[in-house]
Structure 1
Amino acid sequence: MDDDGCRGPVAADAPVALCEAHLAAAGEWADAQYGVTDALPSPCRLCGSRLGVRYPSGWLCAVCEWRYGDLPDDDIAPPRVDVVYYLRYDDRVKIGTSGNPRQRFGAIWHDELLAFERGGRALEQRRHVQFAADRFPGTEWFRRSDALTAHIAVLAAGVDDPWQLHARWLSEALAARG
């Protein structure tokens, strides 16, 4: 490499006209500047994600940006994130809300968590009104109508596991605390 520019052979498929040595140097610079997305060595302790960004100074979780290896402060209460949940039991769906869904689900007989929607009681009540024609009277359980199934499909689109979405909301709420 010389100060007058790149004089080595340039590969025909190179994205820019640089020799292999200069292209490698540019790649290393970009990795240091912008990080490299990769699998974390173990799940993020804050949100559970396995996706991270590696910098020369260390790893950050790609979901919540928690510095890999840092321990969450157990003295700080976790943030409250209210969600509307959709649980399936047989051919019925329960639309409810909770700030602590793991604990709440322990008290509800169900087959599957279908989706989460971020929101509290007001959103839950809107969903109860929206799907009132399918509601079992006096309960929070609904028939699996086409409209309800379509709504759940929209919420679940691109979400492999609703718990990962919930973990991201929790980590975002914690990060917003500062």
Structure 2
Amino acid sequence: MPVDPRAVRCLVDDDGCRGPVPDGSPIALCERHLAVAADWGAAEHGVTDVLPSPCVLCGSRLGVHHPSGWLCAVCEWRHGEVPDAELPSPRVDVVYYLRYDDRVKIGTTAQPRQRLGAIWHDELLAFERGDRTLEQRRHAQFAAERFARTEWFQLSDALRRHIAVVAAGVDDPWALHRRWVSEAVALRG
């Protein structure tokens, strides 16, 4: 709730300020002391802004600027650092949900671009981080919808609801996968 500047003076009185509080101020501080508080907050917590160039790991343009430099807001990779090209890409297993007509394939891979490029499909519905164990659990969970001896399932209401939960808040499954890979790179240093 904004402070009424006519009724309140700056709370800071160690330097004898007690200056006027600007209209709409969330706390009773004069402009000079609001600026000091904002500078402190930026130094302590960083300022979210556009990175000078896309993150080399995940491609995000959103960063957090700290006095010590920039961090990617998505994967927290330090802007300007280059991943060690001699190290292999980290393994990130995913369970994928592909739609073709009224069927869904539930499979797993550590190389989704290569794998999905080899499967005829209409749409990538979602990625779920996990390996064969999770894939087998999903196959058992939707066994009633499964086409015999395949990884294809009838697109039922139950399967739709599950995919909606997995995909909730994710506009682009590939961006989510890039974030997982970049997090894995960042974790290994």
| Amino acid in structure 1 at the alignment position of 2:19 | G
| Amino acid in structure 1 at the alignment position of 2:186 | A
Equivalent residue, structure 2, for 1:17: 28
Runs of 5+ unmatched residues, structure 2: 1-11
**Cα deviation digits, residues 3-56 of structure 1 (max 9, x gap):** 524322112421221110111121112112210112223321111222210122
**CA distance in 2 between partners of 1:107 and 1:53 (Å):** 38
Equivalent residue, structure 1, for 2:167: 156
| Amino acid in structure 2 at the alignment position of 1:139 | T
Equivalent residue, structure 2, for 1:70: 81
- Alignment of 1:49 with 2:60, yes or no, is yes
Task: Say if 1:6 and 1:22, in contact at 8 Å, map to a contact too.
Answer: no
**CA distance in 1 between partners of 2:121 and 2:16 (Å):** 67
What are the equivalent positions in structure 2 for 1:115-130 lying under 5 Å apart?
A: 115-130=126-141
| Amino acid in structure 2 at the alignment position of 1:40 | L
- Alignment of 1:165 with 2:182, yes or no, is no
**CA distance in 2 between partners of 1:12 and 1:147 (Å):** 53
TM score, norm. by length of structure 2: 0.88
| Bigger radius of gyration among the two | 2
Equivalent residue, structure 1, for 2:118: 107
- Alignment of 1:90 with 2:74, yes or no, is no
Equivalent residue, structure 2, for 1:131: 142
SS at match of 2:144: helix
| Amino acid in structure 2 at the alignment position of 1:75 | E
Following TM superposition, by how much is the alpha carbon of 1:164 offset from its aligned partner in structure 2, in angstroms? Answer: 1.6
TM score, norm. by length of structure 1: 0.93
Of all paired residues, the percent bearing the same amino acid is: 74
SS at match of 2:38: helix
Q: Cα RMSD (Å) of the superposition?
A: 1.6
Structure 1 runs of 4+ with >3 Å offset = none
The count of residues paired between Structure 1 and Structure 2 equals: 178
Runs of 5+ unmatched residues, structure 1: none
SS at match of 1:60: strand
Following TM superposition, by how much is the alpha carbon of 1:72 offset from its aligned partner in structure 2, in angstroms? Answer: 1.5
SS at match of 1:102: helix
